[in-house]
Copies of this chain bind each other. A is one copy, B any other.
Amino acid sequence: MEQFEVHILGCGSALPTMRHNASSQIVRVGNELLMIDCGEGTQLQIRKSHQHFARINHVFISHLHGDHCFGLIGMISTFGLLGRKLPLHIYAHPMLRTLLTPQLEFFCKGMPYEVILHDINPEEQKIIFESKTITVETLPLNHRIPCCGFLISEKPKKRHIKPDMLEFYKIPTYARPKLREGEDYVTPEGEIIANERLTTPPDRSRSYAYCSDTAPCPSIIDKIRGVDLLYHEATFANKERGRAQETFHSTAQQAATIARDAEVKNLVIGHFSSRYDDEQLLLDEAREIFPCTTLANENKTLKI
């Protein structure tokens, strides 16, 4: 199966600490590296993670708080200095265009590649990016400013051919792609061979949901139902539930409740408040509700 994994570059919250960088992660799907959020210092985190700068072509920004986007201008400049040629696509709230364009014009004049900004509406669920194998969809969240998560889903895959049956029916090579798409085979004599005799079901399509920053947002539950991995912010512990409510963030237990109700396979929590020297408390609280929970951490890779 094609690689599908999440590499955490930063899982801190508004105040970066010596333990956690501002939000950013790379989702690898096959050869494609998608970046989600780009807090200050992200370019250095990419370097530390040994990910290939040149293979990041699409950056998705959940919302315009600094800890999710202050790293863009530095990363864009560095890509230019490294001689990048391919355009870089950035998907964000339209306000990013207003804020970033003057900076690009001043700091990045004469760069050897283009930065293409795509406006997204964080308040609607919509497919904003599509490749051969995946789609990226916005997931409206509930934060202090317009904010969306992202649902990255593999497209339906092709069925597997049973080699022995192909041989048995002497099916020519040119007919195989259609079989993989589920069509029946018609022999030269006009006999119909049901596809189920010739193929086995395709691999399951996997999916990953990124939900940060948000107050508990029950409206996402149906949209992320059954995903293989959910990254959900868990800025606070139970004790700071009031603070979470005031700031439109979630506690670890609220994140776990969403994960449980959406029947996701695994939950990884992140966006930790700088007040915790150790997130074990957050993990313990989340696991009371949803045992398949892990803690995000810089340089951690989660296979999907």
Residues of A within 8 A of B (CB): 14-18, 21-22, 40-41, 43-44, 47-48, 64-66, 70-71, 73-74, 77-78, 81-82, 95, 98-99, 102-103, 106-107
Contact = CB atoms under 8 A, between A and B. Distances in A.
DSSP majority for the A interface? helix
Contact of A81 (B15, B22, B64, B103): B15
A77 B66 contact: yes
A103 B69 CA distance: 12
Given A66-B73, A73-B66, A81-B15, A102 B106 contact: no
A271 to B, nearest CB: 15
Nearest to A102: B99
A223 B16 CA distance: 40
A102 B107 contact: no
B40 A74 contact: yes
Contacts of A40: 40-41, 43-44, 71, 74
Contacts of A22: 74
Contacts of A43: 16, 40
Contacts of A73: 66, 70
Contacts of A21: 44
B15 A78 contact: yes
6 contacts: A15-B78, A15-B82, A64-B106, A66-B77, A70-B77, A95-B106
Contacts of A64: 106-107
A108 to B, nearest CB: 9
A244 to B, nearest CB: 16
A283 to B, nearest CB: 24
Contacts of A107: 64-66
Nearest to A14: B81
A99 to B, nearest CB: 6
A16 B65 CA distance: 23
Contacts of A98: 102
A10 to B, nearest CB: 11
A48 B21 CA distance: 13
A16 B66 contact: no
A21 B45 CA distance: 12
Contacts of A14: 77-78, 81
Contact of A47 (B17, B48, B66, B78): B17
Contacts of A48: 18
